Amino acid sequence: MQVDGRPPARSGPGEDGSDAALPTADPSGRPEGRSARRTRILDGLGLPARLVLGGVLIVAGALKVGRPLVSARAVQAYQIFPFDVAAVIGYALPVVEIVVGAPLVVGLFTRVSAVVGGLLMLAFVVGIASAWARGLSIDCGCFGGGGEIGAAQTAYPAEIARDLGFALCGAWLALRPRTPFSLDARLGAR
């Protein structure tokens, strides 16, 4: 209704003058509903998961890649595999970590990289738990080093908790690989 020849004033952002906020529009101009916002938020949680898991894998691999003998000795210290097999795993592991971590950081092949990265973390958990259960006193060798240490220096519970957290990042990304600022999104991958 007009008062004094002027259009009626609106008291709020809603078309009916209510205080309810208008939904934001997506690029196509359609209003964004609650479900779309929820999806965007859940996908957004994947960004830190992707950067954390990918970053940790790159750092762990980079710290070991220039010292293959140290990496091989760290794997041999677990006494899970035959000596020569453990050496091969130790030589290959830093390269695998970098190759899996790099695509995660840039968001390329996110689901596959996350599954492989998460499985690596679970393998590390199994190895650490095995060493702990068998009474070995070793450094995990996760970020270089490794080998025997004093029993008071072991940190098995913290190492297992840490790697389980990284494995959860991988699981989240396996279920929800769409993340902001990823090459997958830029290239239109699903």
* Rg of the Cα atoms in the chain: 25
Between strands 147-148 and 138-139, the pairing is: antiparallel
Of 92, 120, 117, the residue nearest 103 (C-alpha): 117
Q: Is residue 131 within 8 Å of residue 78, measured between CB atoms?
A: yes
How far apart are the C-alpha atoms of 154 and 137, rounded to whole Å?
Answer: 6
According to the model, what pLDDT value does residue 10 have? Answer: 53
Give the integer Cα–Cα distance in Å for 75 and 91. 9
Instruction: Give pLDDT, residue 133.
Output: 97
Measure the CA–CA gap between 94 and 56, rounded to whole angstroms.
12
Residues of the chain with pLDDT under 50: 14, 18-19, 22, 25-26, 28
What's residue 34's pLDDT?
A: 87
Distance separating alpha carbons of residues 111 and 144, to the nearest angstrom = 27
What pLDDT does 147 receive? 85
Exposure pattern of 40-55 as b/e (b: 16+ CB <10 Å)?
A: eeebeebeebbbebbe
Rounded Cα distance between 78 and 115, Å, is 24
Q: Tell me the per-residue pLDDT of 3-49, one tens digit each, with 9 for 90 and over.
A: 555 555 555 554 555 445 545 544 545 556 889 999 999 999 999 99
DSSP one-letter string for 80-115: -S-HHHHHHHHHHHHHHHHHHHHHHHHTSSHHHHHH
Looking at residue 145, what is its pLDDT?
86
Task: Report pLDDT for 169.
Answer: 98
3-state SS, residue 129: helix
Q: Residue 22 has what pLDDT? A: 47
pLDDT, mean over the chain: 88
C-alpha 62 chain-centroid distance: 17
pTM over 0.85: no
- Closest by CA to 151, choosing from 167, 134, 166, 168, is 134
User: pLDDT at position 33, please?
Assistant: 81
